[in-house]
Amino acid sequence: MQKNEQISALILAGGRGSRMGHVDKGLQPFQGATMVAHVLERLAPQVGAIAINANQNLARYEAFGVPVWPDETTGFAGPLAGLEAGMRHCATPYMVTAPCDSPFLPRDLAARLFHALQSQRADVALAVTQEVGMRKQPHPVFCLVKTRLLQVLSSYLAEGGRKMDGWYADLKVAEVQFDDNDAFRNINTLDELHSLDTARAPKRLHDVTSCLSGYDPDALPVRDAQRIIREFVSPIASIEKVALRAALDRVLARDITSPISVPAHDNSAMDGFALRGADLRADGPTTLKVVDTVYAGRPSGATPAAGECVRIMTGGVMPAGCDSVVPQEFVARIGEADITVDAGVIRVGDNRRFAGEDLMAGSAALKKGRIIRPADLGLLASLGIAEVPVQRRLRVAFFSTGDELRSIGEPLDAGCVYDSNRYTLYGMLQRLGCDIIDMGVVKDDPQALEEALRNACENADAIVTSGGVSVGAADYTRDIMARLGDVTFWKIGMRPGRPLAFGKINSNGHSAFLFGLPGNPVAVMVSFYFFARAALLYMMGADAPLPLLKVKSAAAIRKKTGRTEYQRGILAHDANGGQHVSITGSQGSGILRSMSEANCMVVLHDEQGNVAAGDLVDVMLFEGLV
Ligand SMILES: Nc1nc2c(c(=O)[nH]1)N[C@H]1C(S)=C(S)[C@@H](COP(=O)(O)OP(=O)(O)OC[C@H]3O[C@@H](n4cnc5c(N)ncnc54)[C@H](O)[C@@H]3O)O[C@H]1N2
Ligand code: MOO
Ligand SMILES: [Mg+2]
């Protein structure tokens, strides 16, 4: 974001922190620094100059190397007094403010407020947010003002005014809508501060693994590896708004509350005649006078009296007083101006759809974390929602390692193989909806590996590599990974996919989670599905557990206890209309055909031994998984 030299920033740290037990809020430790330091770090790059308004601990604020201006009115007159002090000292025509307890403020705050101020020829611009289905929420302490308005503010204060949004009542105000409500989140209590601090503090792998009893990196059960990974990774907290169609397959970032009732009115489920159920005789035919016709989308306003009815189309609004609809094909006689209905053809209330029976205004329509499917697009459209808050896409860099690998298009030299892992990884990552960075093949060369890992780390949220994580002499990958961060190497009690590297690496102030998958072509896929997939989904804020089905095994399967086996299976119908699963031929870790032929994975758990024909086994369908 570009710096605007015409704007100065003022951090409002002059409050008494009464909700924090009278501590100085700005100086509270938060994620390895103080709260005010986080605000400084976000705001300073946006403006030409920056200062702090504080009324206590002035020397500690001055230690940040920026000017500190106390209120000029005594007695903690609130943020307006700070604003006044700031405007008096400010040397630029514009000043932007933010409170010291908002460490997540937008990095484009000044630019967007300034743009709105200019384009709307306003005096003050302020941030607002609006949750879907909720009222607009202004954030007057996040504002941009023309500094020449000092006089207006001083008069308001002199008259005893104290409300942040009161002083500009007679000025032109531009509101700027920001999508990320959390960016304006201020931290009011020490409890809130501590819980956020621990939730977001970087974890060490050791802290996670040490909580596990009997942790052995060389014989780690699948469940434990999955648990450690889940504990260690953290979700990205960045939201964007996209047009409804573009939300397909994206992760919903906020709960959606229905702003309207769907349908909005009671209406007919059939083409027929709307009537008053009480008019229908139980002992013989009823004749009713037809007084009007109602088409869908054209309410008639008619209010039929006793003995009257209205011709109605499917979706037409039920006329007042009517509670039932008789479909036209059930009517015994349709005359010029009346109809006759036989006894017992409908019950009172039949074929009437109630207002809000699909969704009631104010009710929860969709939960955040959901991956948006076609039905959800329709549901959102039925609510009139044109833009959807979604998580930003996860950026995932991936590459293959190995001197023997050739990319397609290159000649296949003696002893070499074509790189297939990068294509299976491409497919799997693409299906997960990630933004992918394909980094090609990297040679078994320490310098090339380090460069690739650093580059990936600086550009992605997560890195997926294949190969080099076992114990071979040319497998430098392990050493380099370990050197760049907090990475552990496991031998997992599973087949295929025994070796796995996992952790987080750092480069030039960036960090990324790392999944070092084994090189064998089936192992790379199985490790992706059972470790990386869930972790990446969690990072992208998605809540998408996969069901395991129980299906009969068509034949006996040999299985060792004490490890998880992922056998490639074909689920098919048998002659009796039931289903069974059979294993695809050779299950070798290099036989990619076994994956291609399969339509599911048979999951044989640690404690399971040999399977007899007809036994039920757990099956995970590729459909949904891939
Ligand atoms: N002494 C031991 N040797 C091995 C062990 C072990 O525990 N002790 N584990 C075996 C298991 S299990 C696996 S899985 C592999 C994993 O090896 P690496 O992750 O080090 O992978 P590489 O050695 O680089 O390659 C293994 C194999 O896969 C082929 N490969 C690699 N990348 C690709 C690619 N992109 N496309 C196609 N094929 C690829 C590579 O040519 C090798 O054949 O280690 C076992 N050894
Ligand atoms: O576990 Mo390795 O993945 O069997 O070939
Ligand atoms: Mg190897």
Q: What is the DSSP string of 196-260?
A: HHHHHSPP-HHHHHTTSTT--TTSB-HHHHHHHHHHH------EEEEEGGGGTTSBB-S-EE-SS
For the chain, residues classed under CATH 2.170.190.11 are 267-353
**Token pair listed for 291:** 């007084």
Rounded Cα–Cα distance for residues 127 and 116 (Å): 10
pLDDT tens figures, 278-334: 999 999 999 999 999 999 999 888 999 999 999 999 999 999 999 999 999 999 999
For the chain, residues classed under CATH 3.40.980.10 are 395-539
**Token pair listed for 268:** 């007919």
Output the CA 556–ligand 2 centroid distance in Å.
22
pLDDT reported for residue 328: 97
Atom of ligand 1 nearest to the CA of 491: 7
Choose one of 417, 520, 564 to mutate for the ligand 1 pocket test, by most ligand atoms within 8 angstroms of C-beta. 520
Ligand closest to 467 (CA) is 1
pLDDT over 80 at 88, yes or no: yes
pLDDT tens figures, 362-397: 888 999 999 999 999 999 999 999 999 999 999 999
Question: For the packed helices 79-89 and 150-158, what is the interaxial angle rounded to 10 degrees?
Answer: 140
pLDDT reported for residue 327: 98
Strand 94-99's sheet: what is its strand order? 68-69, 47-54, 4-13, 94-99, 137-146, 124-129, 173-178
For the chain, residues classed under CATH 3.90.550.10 are 4-184
Rounded Cα–Cα distance for residues 597 and 77 (Å): 73
- Its CATH class, for the domain covering 267-353, is mainly beta
Atom of ligand 2 nearest to the CA of 520: 5
pLDDT reported for residue 158: 87
Output the CA 241–ligand 2 centroid distance in Å.
42
Tell me which of 40 and 164 has the higher pLDDT.
40
Q: What is the mean pLDDT of residues 102-125?
A: 94
Cα 202 → chain centroid: 20
Output the CA 470–ligand 3 centroid distance in Å.
5
Ligand closest to 501 (CA) is 1
Amino acid letter, 457:
C
Output the CA 521–ligand 1 centroid distance in Å.
8
Q: pLDDT confidence of 75, banded at 50, 70, 90?
A: low
Q: Which CATH number fits domain 4-184: 3.40.605.10, 3.40.50.720, 3.90.550.10, 3.40.50.2300?
A: 3.90.550.10
Output the CA 327–ligand 2 centroid distance in Å.
65
pLDDT reported for residue 200: 54
pLDDT over 70 at 196, yes or no: no
3-state helix, strand, coil in the chain (%, to 5): 25, 30, 40
Atom of ligand 2 nearest to the CA of 499: 1
* Separation in Å, CA 471 to CA 441, 467, 491, 520, 522: 20, 11, 11, 14, 18
Minimal-distance CA residue to ligand 2 atom 5: 589
SS3 39: helix
pLDDT reported for residue 395: 96
Q: Residue 53: CB within 6 Å of ligand 2?
A: no
**ipTM, two decimals:** 0.97
DSSP state of 452: H
pLDDT tens figures, 221-242: 999 999 999 999 998 878 899 9
Burial of 536 (0-12, 13-18, 19+ CB in 10 A): buried
Q: What is the DSSP string of 104-166?
A: T--TTHHHHHHHHHHHTT-SEEEEEE--TTS--EEEEEEEEEEGGGHHHHHHHHHTT---TTT
Minimal-distance CA residue to ligand 1 atom 4: 470
546 is in an annotated binding site: no
Q: What is the mean pLDDT of residues 8-34?
A: 80
Scored b (16 or more CB within 10 A) or e, 31-69 reads beebbbbbbbebbbebbbbbbbbbbbeeeebeebebbbb
Output the CA 471–ligand 2 centroid distance in Å.
12
**Token pair listed for 153:** 């503010």
Cis geometry, peptide bond prior to residue 106 (ω within 30 degrees of 0)? no
Rounded Cα–Cα distance for residues 47 and 168 (Å): 23
Q: pLDDT confidence of 199, banded at 50, 70, 90?
A: low
Rounded Cα–Cα distance for residues 136 and 132 (Å): 9
pLDDT over 70 at 74, yes or no: no
pLDDT over 70 at 144, yes or no: yes
Q: Residue 319: CB within 6 Å of ligand 2?
A: no
pLDDT reported for residue 18: 62
Q: pLDDT confidence of 202, banded at 50, 70, 90?
A: low
Output the CA 578–ligand 3 centroid distance in Å.
43
Rounded Cα–Cα distance for residues 157 and 161 (Å): 5
101 is in an annotated binding site: yes
**Where does 395-539 sit in CATH, by number?**
3.40.980.10
Phi, psi of 477 (to 5 degrees): -50, -45
**Token pair listed for 567:** 């056998």
pLDDT tens figures, 509-566: 889 999 999 999 999 999 999 999 999 999 999 988 888 999 999 999 999 999 999 9
pLDDT reported for residue 290: 97
Q: pLDDT confidence of 79, banded at 50, 70, 90?
A: confident
Round the average pLDDT of the chain to a whole number and report it.
Answer: 92
Q: pLDDT confidence of 195, banded at 50, 70, 90?
A: low
pLDDT reported for residue 163: 84
pTM of this prediction?
0.72
pLDDT reported for residue 416: 97
Cross-strand pairs, 504: 486, 513
Tell me which of 205 and 1 has the higher pLDDT.
205
25 is in an annotated binding site: yes
pLDDT reported for residue 198: 55
Q: Which CATH number fits domain 239-259+362-391: 3.90.1570.10, 3.90.105.10, 2.60.260.40, 3.30.470.30?
A: 3.90.105.10
pLDDT over 90 at 212, yes or no: no
Q: How many helices (H) and strands (E) does the chain have?
A: 16, 35
Q: Residue 495: CB within 6 Å of ligand 2?
A: yes
Atom of ligand 2 nearest to the CA of 523: 3
Minimal-distance CA residue to ligand 1 atom 44: 470
For the chain, residues classed under CATH 2.40.340.10 are 549-625
417 backbone φψ class: left, alpha, beta (φ>0; ψ -120 to 50): beta
Q: pLDDT confidence of 1, banded at 50, 70, 90?
A: low
37 is in an annotated binding site: no
Span 549-625 CATH architecture: Beta Barrel (2.40)
pLDDT reported for residue 8: 97
Minimal-distance CA residue to ligand 1 atom 9: 470
Q: pLDDT confidence of 625, banded at 50, 70, 90?
A: confident
Output the CA 410–ligand 2 centroid distance in Å.
27
Q: pLDDT confidence of 20, banded at 50, 70, 90?
A: low
Minimal-distance CA residue to ligand 1 atom 5: 470
DSSP state of 515: E
Output the CA 584–ligand 2 centroid distance in Å.
17
pLDDT over 90 at 78, yes or no: no
DSSP state of 312: E
Residue located via tokens 């403010």: 97
Rounded Cα–Cα distance for residues 83 and 72 (Å): 10
Minimal-distance CA residue to ligand 1 atom 45: 470
SS3 347: coil
CB atoms under 10 Å from CB of 504, counted, come to 22
Q: What residue ranges line ligand 1, CB within 6 angstroms? A: 400, 402, 404-405, 417, 419-422, 466-472, 475, 498-499, 518-521, 523, 589
CA-based Rg of the chain, rounded to a whole angstrom? 33
Residue located via tokens 């400010």: 90
